[in-house]
Chains A and B, each alone.
Chain A
Amino acid sequence: MEIKSYERDGVTVFQVSGEININTSPDLRKLFERQSAKKVVVDLQSVSYVDSSGLATLVEMLKRMKLQGGAFGLTGLSDKVKSLFEITKLDKLFPIFATQEDAVLRVK
């Protein structure tokens, strides 16, 4: 898994690629815990696989942002990854956007 972070219109974008699984999700969690941005978009366009520990990490990120009074959005979910959010009803919990542009516009 690789993570690039950059600013776009005042929003911190985490662009993740690879897999968010039991062995890689701790890296995502650590990186996120170190950042202090209040407006965050996580772009999963290049993520091919997410397991339950990956979902758990994203839930923790969302909760942390809410606690800090920040805004959080997800974008770039593949059909299969999106189906995991739908099956687990996490699509009701997360703001999910079709494009990074939409996500940044709504989060900023």
Chain B
Amino acid sequence: MLTRWSELDRAFSVMDELQRRMNRLFDEVDSGRWAGSSFVGGAWPPVNLYDAGDDLVIRAMVPGLTEKELEITGNQEVLTLSGERKLEVPEGYSVHRQERGGVRFSRSFTFPCKVNLEKTKAAVKDGVLTITLPKAPEAKPRQITVKAE
């Protein structure tokens, strides 16, 4: 399971890299810089995938973004997370330091098992997005009873 996810993610990481380069173009116009991420990988937002039995769960670090500013779309087997974090200097302020940066992003994911994208739930709390994807019935763990003879 683990390898499958990472292999697929690697394929997508190529797309991410392209996206990142595009982001960088925008950022260079916006802010002048977008320092490398302190997280593994470097794609934004950083994402973890969990197996929670009946569900797969994605958690993503999205500081500053609300539900409204995030777009989650499901298309067959692919889930896409996109949005934009705008870098705005508050009005009337001068800039001393800018490390947070603005970013326009779009990341796509496929999953190691079949999921029901229509029943996906998403919530943001303290700048962390949690997406819960129920597994398709055939992919859910099953208890097999062992009969004694």
A binds B: no
